[in-house]
A and B are shown apart, each in its own frame.
Chain A
Amino acid sequence: MKLPLEDFKHEIFSLREEETDSRYGKAPKDRSISERINYGFILLDKPAGIRSKTAAYIAKNIMTGLGAKKMGYSGTLEY
């Protein structure tokens, strides 16, 4: 029971080899929790009966204490 694109891997074309300066930015896997609060992603199990927007709003309110500034959501199930 697999969707057609479930195991899809994007092919990579390289134009040139280039190094990246380790002084700037940070690879996603090295990000600390406090950094992930503003560059994070939550897979939320939304309860039935409330709107996605409301769920995102509640989640944002929970996270604002930690310094989260913005939160949005994606994925519509109906409509």
Chain B
Amino acid sequence: MHLHSEVDEQLLRDTFDKFIGKIMQLPPVRSHVKRQYRQREIYYSDILEINGRDVLFKVGVESGTYIRKLIHDMGEELKVGAHMVELRRTKVSTLSEKDNLVTLQDLDDAVYFYEKENDDKLLNKCLDSIESAVDFIPKVFISDGAVDPVCRGSPLAVPGIVKFNDFGKEEVVGIMTLKGELIALGKAVMSADEIKSFKKGIAVKTDSVIMKIDTYPKYEKIN
């Protein structure tokens, strides 16, 4: 954050504390959502460094919070104005920059060593399984026989489900095999409670399929 004028440090710290908890925010003029005030929660906000008019801080916010706007609003509150200079995401859901964060150069090096010198140590570090990208979403685990139809895009019905997490209607869910592989992402047609009580019917609509067809055999061939 860059302040447009000198500000008393204590006042600055107090203002930061004011912007913790629930705040109202108007999306910026150029935004992809409707411009109306909406409530967002700021979980924490800590000043790391103050250097003249520049302030470095770390903030944990609800999804859909505009940081540029947050800084602008803090500037207004301080009556001097402020704008954002740089922004970096340090963590999101289960992922953080403390994990195996790789730069494009790291990736290029890793691929070079793997291709030219048959050394997979670096690439092993860079490449995680696709499942870690969907760690945070609720999942349904389905029996082997139901995998092939889902791979071909057919919706998932209740009899195919073996176990599942808690989720509501319309929520995005990951459709997984019993081995824990991601097959596809879908939208829940039934909530988790409905799946418990119904014996049949479509539970999840398949949206995007990740697993290749023929990884699992057709249903008839399993039995």
Contacts and interface: CB of A to CB of B under 8 A. Distances in A.
Physical interaction between A and B: yes
Given A1-B44, A12-B165, A20 B92 contact: no
Nearest to A17: B162
Given A44-B104, A45-B97, A27 B181 contact: yes
Interface residues of A, number: 51
B134 to A, nearest CB: 9
Nearest to A19: B178
5 contacts: A5-B136, A6-B94, A10-B165, A39-B130, A40-B128
Nearest to B129: A28
Interface in A34-79: 36-48, 55, 58-59, 62-63, 65-66, 74-75, 77-79
- A contact face: mostly helix, strand, loop, or mixed: loop
B103 A10 contact: no
A1 to B, nearest CB: 5
Interface of A: 1-6, 8, 10-16, 18-21, 24-29, 31, 33, 36-48, 55, 58-59, 62-63, 65-66, 74-75, 77-79
B210 A11 contact: no
A13 B178 contact: no
A33 B104 contact: no
Contacts of A28: 129-131, 179-182
- B contact face: mostly helix, strand, loop, or mixed: mixed
Contacts of B44: 1
Contacts of A21: 144, 222
A40 B130 contact: yes
A63 B111 contact: yes
Interface in B63-106: 66-68, 86-87, 89, 91-95, 97, 99-104, 106
Contacts of A15: 161-164, 195-196
A2 B180 CA distance: 27
Contact of A24 (B106, B131, B217): B217
A3 to B, nearest CB: 5
Contact of B129 (A1, A2, A41, A59): A41
